[in-house]
Amino acid sequence: MPVALTYPGVYIEEIPSGVRTITGVPTSITAFIGRAIRGPVNDPVTINNYGDFERIFGGLWVGSSLGFSVQDFFLNGGGQAIIVRVFGGPPAAAGIDAKGLKLQAATSGAWANSLRARIDYLDTAADAAVIAQTAASLGVTGADLFNLTIHDNGTGETEVIQNVTVTESSRRVDRILETSSRLVRAVQPLPSARPGAHAPADVSVWTTDTESSPVNAPGTDGAALTTADVLGTRSAKTGLYALENADLFNLLVIPPYIVVPPKQLPSDIDPTPAALLPFVAAYCEERRAMLIVDPPSAWTSKDLAKAGVTALNLTSKNAALYFPRIRRVNPLHENRVEDFSPSGAIAGVFSRIDSSRGVWKAPAGLEATLNGVVQLSVPLTDPENGELNPLGVNCLRVRPAAGPVIWGARTRQGDDRLASEWKYVPVRRLALYLEESLYRGTQWVVFEPNDEPLWAQIRLNVGAFLQTLFRQGAFQGSTPQQAYFVKVDRETTTQNDVDRGIVNIVVGFAPLKPAEFVVIRLQQIAGQIQT
């Protein structure tokens, strides 16, 4: 009802329509876990291009294959990635004692060992008026203010932080560095008085100890990663479980990190150990994401792959295995062509196909070209492909004109002997997309009155979402009735359910299965026989 009807006239009242649009979630946000030169540790960072990775995590590094996988992801059409940097052993950040002000590198790693810090004052007579005005606005004295300059001799980057203090004010140095510096942080406790100033600067300002302060506690890149480092702990949200702090990811890639002596990093290293895979796959099922599994480097032939897939002991419907490895140039090794794990490039193809065709299209075929790939580590023939495909191993092939492509779209339950309904990657990913979208799009239902008006609204909104997908070609069938259904009524939600505060929504859909085998029947037309 509108406001109280007191005067003769016309009253306007807006009535809610009950329409609550369900928006589909992204389908190809890819999480990467591995070592990096720099960057936050155990903190998921969202990036949108490879330039972001270079700026935050240092780019390619001979000590890790993470950078190569991320580069392959964006090269093949990847859109958005979440990077989790893990560290081998306790994180070790470089420290600097700048005239009594103790500083620490913003992130762990040996990258910070080339940092230098410089403190100076604006104490000249010409600056007196500016200093007095600035100090008055901050509620401090001019003798409290100083300037801090940080320089990275490795990259040439310089940060100048002006008019900061160690006393309580809006420009207290620890707070300013926390929000404004990519290089350092202040270490508590702060000195009780303004730190001393360095000698007047000349051309050698970043090379002499008198004119700037060097690192006095070196940082390290940590030890080689172990399975425990990558898995982490859920309670501390480290390693894999740092993704608890990420709202959504759809694909998970763990680039190789186990070193195989005496081979060279980063191309000749083994992928995720088999002991870790069950935990990672279980977490992906929990988060409605797909795990892209790399082939072990020992799989140097079809026979070794065929024998090794059973030992892998991974039958998750949320995982897909690809073989063989890819060969690409390594800029860190004079652009030599070397073997790399394919998972980053494959995740990029997933993203590219999702954008152009939809999550219901199999990320395989002549469209699924692998950009930046020179060749494959193990060339496969059609009969060899035919031995691996029924085992749920997705093969990478070189096709005429197209080049290297993905030539398989099965999950780890795609083994013919399992007879699983989640045999195909696009079917599983479409189901995950629907689950996540409906989960997020029906949150408004909680605490609503549980009766027919609510059920009608649910049918309206969920049905509208599925109808949109049907018109885009996501389901089988020529009519909506053949493609999907939404059921919320007295049959799905009994009075007992209502009494317990439960509403049951049943959604069914007819997924599209990929045309994995194309059979063409040819027949000669017999000439007319004279009788």
- Tell me the domains of the chain and their CATH numbers: 30-88+223-427 (3.40.50.11780), 95-217 (no CATH), 461-531 (no CATH)
Contact status, residue 276 vs residue 54, Cβ threshold 8 Å: no
Residue 70 contacts residue 83 (beta carbons within 8 Å):
yes
Closest CA to 391 of 408, 406, 377, 374: 408
Report yes or no: 81 and 201 within 8 Å, Cβ to Cβ.
no
Name the band, by pLDDT with cuts 50, 70 and 90, for residue 203. Answer: low
pLDDT of residue 264 exceeding 60, the answer is no
How high is the mean pLDDT of the chain? 90
Summarize the confidence of residues 7-34 as an average pLDDT: 90
pLDDT at 523: 84
Of 211, 217, 139, residue with least CA distance to 184: 217
Who has greater pLDDT, 437 or 264?
437
pLDDT for res 267: 46
With CA atoms as reference, report the closest residue to 161 among 241, 207, 106: 106
What's residue 269's pLDDT? 52
Q: What is the pLDDT of residues 132-155, one digit of tens each?
A: 888 888 888 888 899 999 999 988
Instruction: Please state, in angstroms and rounded to a whole number, the distance separating the CA atoms of residues 165 and 150.
Output: 16
Name residues whose C-beta falls within 8 Å of residue 412's C-beta, 6 or more positions apart in sequence.
Answer: 281, 293, 314, 315, 316, 317, 319, 320, 321, 392
In this structure, what DSSP letter does residue 123 have?
Answer: -
- Per residue, the 3-state secondary structure of 211-279, as one string, reads CCEEEEECCCCCCCCCHHHHHCCCCCCCHHHHHHHCCCCCEEECCCCEECCCCCCCCCEECCCCCCHHH
Query: Strand pairing partners for 150?
Result: 117, 159
For the stretch 63-95, pLDDT in tens is 889 999 999 999 999 999 999 999 988 888 999
pLDDT digits (tens, 9 = 90+) for 471-480: 999 999 999 9
| Ramachandran class of 133: left when φ > 0, alpha when ψ lies in -120 to 50, beta otherwise | alpha
Annotate 337-355 with b (16+ C-beta within 10 A) or e (fewer): ebbbbbbbbbbbbbbbbbe
Average pLDDT over residues 500-509: 95
Give residue 271's pLDDT.
56
Model confidence over 99-109: pLDDT tens digits?
Answer: 999 999 999 99
Query: How many degrees, rounded to 5, is the angle at CA 364 between CA 358 and CA 369?
Result: 100
The gap from C-alpha 449 to its chain's centroid, in whole angstroms, comes to: 38
pLDDT at 262 over 60: no
**At 335, is the pLDDT very low, low, confident or very high (cuts 50, 70, 90)?**
very high
Residue 185 CB neighbours (<10 A): 17
Say whether pLDDT at 513 is over 70.
Answer: yes
Q: Average pLDDT in the 449-466 region? A: 95
pLDDT at residue 373 greater than cutoff 90:
yes
Nearest by Cα to 326 from 346, 311, 308: 346
Q: Which residues contact 203 (CB under 8 A, 6 or more apart)?
A: none
* Whole-number pLDDT of residue 474: 95
Residue 26 DSSP SS3: coil
| Rg, C-alpha atoms of the chain | 30
Model confidence at 34: pLDDT above 60: yes
Q: How far apart are CA 29 and CA 80, in angstroms?
A: 5
Percent of the chain with pLDDT over 90: 73
Rounded Cα distance between 515 and 518, Å, is 7
H/E element, 83: strand 81-85
Say if residue 126's pLDDT is above 70: no
Residue 467's Cβ-count burial label (10 Å; 0-12, 13-18, 19+) is middle
225 close to 129: Cβ distance less than 8 angstroms = no
Alpha-carbon distance 45 to 417, whole Å? Answer: 40
Nearest to 429 by CA among 493, 513, 492, 487: 513
341 vs 329: CA distance, rounded Å: 13
Average pLDDT rounded to a whole number, residues 282-288: 96
Q: pLDDT at position 260, please?
A: 44
Judged against a pLDDT cut of 60, whether residue 205 lies above it is answered with yes
Does the structure show a pLDDT above 80 at 259? no
Report the share of the chain in percent with pLDDT over 70: 95
